[in-house]
């Protein structure tokens, strides 16, 4: 079989749809994962924090081609040009409901179920002509899209519920963290009538996207790729600083007398950990084993990748090993976004289909 995708989340779906768009047949692709519905995990997390709008903008959709996107879909449905005008100005943020409906359509239209194999892969081994996945194969081209390696919870609050787990709100809530999930939870808890304590180590950065917009561009990426390893790692560490968008919709609720910032959660009836995910490839058993077995270069918590998201020492004219999602940040700083998933997917398609 020609291609394998390890993982069954949004990045895997984006890659599968991109391969199918490139002419690769379902029987030439195996998708190994734990969720037949690639939207399942993301849907639960978005529902848990009551997310209503996507942080992504015009290209934040799973279809392989950039156009038409969700702005066109909404403009047609509403009979209004407003979404298109917002899209031109990078101000269009689709609703979560629209994104999920679109994701379901991409899954069905691409034929995902014909290639899905319900299996968790634990080992990837380079062999002649490709890679074996738990002894099965070889597959000439493999993309790893294993997602975030687990939820991060602060040790000082072992009984905290994570923001991305289903929960309700007590009358006095402490939210640990200062990024997008935390900001959403502050507003959710206030709307539920709770008193809210924001427990944070630093002040959040205010930016529309999770990384500055220039790093989504060819010029910005060229500069990032040209940076020495230590500078590149420093940039990635800086980008991990908690952030959420600027704007009145975020600021106005926090003027409530029921909201305050503190260094601890003392007095709270409930602690919510809005602390994101574990960081570092070593938290992912498959990636940790891959690095150890093949002695892959790493820099800090990142596996060193080529600009096209491939593992250089295991990729040549015959075979491809690519990494998408959060573990692919060395190639694309916003690798854990939809745009990042499509960046890796399109490069993978070019290698698998040998297209320019």
342, HSE (Cβ side, Cα atoms, 13 Å): 14
- Using the predicted structure, report yes or no on whether residue 67 has a pLDDT greater than 90: no
What's the rounded Cα separation, in Å, for the pair 174 and 259? 10
Amino acid 56: pLDDT: 81
What's the rounded Cα separation, in Å, for the pair 237 and 246? 21
Q: What residues does 271 pair with on adjacent strands?
A: 174
Instruction: Please write the tens of the pLDDT for every residue from 94-103.
Output: 889 999 999 9
Give DSSP secondary structure letters for 248-302: HHHHGGGGSTTEEEESS-TT-SEEEE---B--SGGGSHHHHHHHHHHT--EETTE
The model carries a pTM of 0.94
What is the sign of the dihedral through the CA atoms of 116, 117, 120 and 125? negative
Q: Tokens for 64, please give them.
A: 């392989």
Q: Which helix (H) or strand (E) holds 17?
A: helix 10-21
Q: Residue 345's pLDDT band (boundaries 50, 70, 90)?
A: very high
Q: Which helix (H) or strand (E) holds 7?
A: none
Place of tokens 């561009």: 217
Instruction: Please write the tens of the pLDDT for every residue from 110-121.
Output: 999 999 999 999
What's the rounded Cα separation, in Å, for the pair 312 and 309? 9
What's the rounded Cα separation, in Å, for the pair 249 and 179? 15
What's the rounded Cα separation, in Å, for the pair 107 and 9? 11
Amino acid 72: pLDDT: 82
Instruction: Please write the tens of the pLDDT for every residue from 229-285.
Output: 999 999 999 999 999 999 999 999 999 999 999 999 999 999 999 999 999 999 999
């Amino acid at each position: 079989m020609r291609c394998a995708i390890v993982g069954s989340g949004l990045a895997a779906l984006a890659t599968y749809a991109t391969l199918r768009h490139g002419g690769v047949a379902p029987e030439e692709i195996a998708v190994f994962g734990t969720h037949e519905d690639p939207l399942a995990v993301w849907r639960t997390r978005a529902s848990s924090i009551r997310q209503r709008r996507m942080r992504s903008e015009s290209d934040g959709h799973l279809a392989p081609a950039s156009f038409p996107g969700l702005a066109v879909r909404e403009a047609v449905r509403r009979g209004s040009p407003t979404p298109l005008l917002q899209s031109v100005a990078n101000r269009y943020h689709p609703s979560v409901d629209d994104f999920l409906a679109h994701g379901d359509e991409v899954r069905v239209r691409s034929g995902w179920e014909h290639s899905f194999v319900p299996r968790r892969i634990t080992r990837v081994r380079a062999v002649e002509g490709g890679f074996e996945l738990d002894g099965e194969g070889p597959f000439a081209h493999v993309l790893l899209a294993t997602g975030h390696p687990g939820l991060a919870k602060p040790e000082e609050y072992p009984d905290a519920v994570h923001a991305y787990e289903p929960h309700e709100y007590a009358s006095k809530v402490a939210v640990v963290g200062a990024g997008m999930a935390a900001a959403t939870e502050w507003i959710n808890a206030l709307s539920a009538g709770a008193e809210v304590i924001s427990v944070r180590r630093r002040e959040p950065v205010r930016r529309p996207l999770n990384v500055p917009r220039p790093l989504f561009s060819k010029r910005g990426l060229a500069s990032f790729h040209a940076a020495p390893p230590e500078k590149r790692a420093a940039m990635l560490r800086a980008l991990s600083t908690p952030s959420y968008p600027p704007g009145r919709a975020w600021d106005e609720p926090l003027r409530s007398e029921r909201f305050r910032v503190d260094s601890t959660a003392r007095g709270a009836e409930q602690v919510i950990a809005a602390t994101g995910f574990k960081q570092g490839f070593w938290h992912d058993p498959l990636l940790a084993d891959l690095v150890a077995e093949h002695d892959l270069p790493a820099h800090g918590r990142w596996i060193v990748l080529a600009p096209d998201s491939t593992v250089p020492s295991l990729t040549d004219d015959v075979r491809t090993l690519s990494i998408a999602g959060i573990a692919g940040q060395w190639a694309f700083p916003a690798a854990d976004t939809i745009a990042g998933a499509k960046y890796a997917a399109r490069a993978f398609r070019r290698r698998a289909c040998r297209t320019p």
